[in-house]
Amino acid sequence: MVKVFNLALAATAKRLSDVYGSGTGVVNDALNVPYRQILMTASGADAFIGDSTVSTSNGVKVAAAGVQPVSLGPFEVGPMKLSDLYAVGSGSTVQILGVPF
């Protein structure tokens, strides 16, 4: 089963695990499942993915124009969690598709 989320972004970094609804920046371990693969697209404006210091000049760009998603994985070991990633992009909404372990 895959998980699908949308996260409206801003000019300051947001943790992707905010999609779980536990509060801004709050990591709820019961909901923060490990993923084998994460795919992301953006709409409205470009998004940028990275760590807690992500910005429009140091993140991986998820372009709003085009149809190619940014893919992290698939990984056989060392799963990712949405709490590991941050995004920024004023006017952007990032669409996240996660394949849980």
pLDDT by residue, tens only, the chain of 101 residues: 899 999 999 999 999 999 999 888 889 999 999 999 999 999 999 999 999 999 999 999 999 998 789 999 999 988 899 999 999 999 999 999 999 98
Return the domain boundaries, the chain: 3-100
d(CA 87, CA 17): 10
- The structure's pTM equals 0.93
Fold of 3-100: Jelly Rolls (2.60.120)
Q: Which residue has the tokens 């709409």?
A: 43
pLDDT of residue 59: 95
Provide CB contacts within 8 A for 77, sequence distance 6+.
none
Contact 45, 81 (CB under 8 A): no
Cα four-point dihedral sign 10, 31, 81, 68: negative
Contact 14, 96 (CB under 8 A): no
